[in-house]
Amino acid sequence: MSFVVVIPARFASTRLPGKPLLDIAGKPMLQHVYERALLSDARAVYIATDDERIHQAAQRFTNNVCMTLSTHQSGTDRIQEVATQLGLAQDEIVVNVQGDEPLIPPSAINLVAHNLQKNSAAGIASLYEDIHSIEEYRNPNAVKVVTDLQGYALYFSRSPIPWRAADATTQPFGQRHIGIYAYRVATLDSYVTWPQFALETSERLEQLRAMSHGIRIHMGRASEKMPAGVDTPADLEAVRAYLRGTGNGA
């Protein structure tokens, strides 16, 4: 199986400005993400950014840094530009690893790439895990997904879906979408030509743009518990504390 990883990294963040460069155990967060991705089976790992500060910092630990346009509206657009810069073939697989996932398991990267490769009807693959908390099920920040019998996504929402689970007494309550994606380059090239779709803007979920144009998204169950990403100062401190507890923190 051959695939590449692209890590989009932006400097701007409402709650954590300069997030990719924040220090975790003596390294910028972005370096942790990059090193985790290197432990996957990817043939290459690239960082994509439109910010010179991130570009300079990343070049201290890798030469695989691609400068992209500052006008991109999403990480997907940025990844497509990198695929074009690298001259990747239409059938190549690109995995989008978020730049705020310093604890991402390499196995998750391998799994999503493998699932896309073996499901030829899919243009995109992603992962989910079961929801065992009614609070998480009702939390709009936890994106839910429902799938068909073959594992293809039927719909994504920030609302509780399926609704019948709201009154259920048995778990799981639903499936939480994990924001890691594998794309075929042909899908990326089509995606960037499509305008935003009404459901996409309503739910604030860009994967609905692909679904609205008939792109099938295969969803696989994560093989291990996915650590939380870093969205808030509390998340950042939790990751720092975790690494100190494992002996990897300063």
Q: What is the pLDDT of residue 70?
A: 85
- Cis amide leading into 195 (omega within 30): no
Q: What is the pLDDT of residue 72?
A: 84
Q: What is the pLDDT of residue 249?
A: 54
Q: What is the pLDDT of residue 248?
A: 65
| The two three-digit tokens of residue 194, written as one number | 């499509």
Spell out the residues 6+ positions from residue 111 whose beta carbon is closer than 8 angstroms to its own: 127, 220, 222, 223
d(CA 103, CA 111): 16
| pLDDT of 63 strictly over 80 | yes
CA angle 241, 243, 249 (to 5 degrees): 95
Task: Average the pLDDT over each of 72-76, 141-145, 178-182 and give the range with the smallest value.
Answer: 72-76
| pLDDT of 166 strictly over 70 | no
Q: What is the pLDDT of residue 168?
A: 58
Q: What is the rounded average pLDDT of the residues 85-99?
A: 95
Task: Convert the pLDDT of each residue in 217-250 to its tens digit.
Answer: 999 999 888 887 888 888 889 899 888 877 665 5
CA angle 49, 50, 53 (to 5 degrees): 85
Q: What is the pLDDT of residue 233?
A: 87
Domains of the chain: 1-104 (3.90.550.10), 111-226 (3.90.550.10)
| pLDDT of 133 strictly over 60 | yes
Q: What is the pLDDT of residue 121?
A: 95
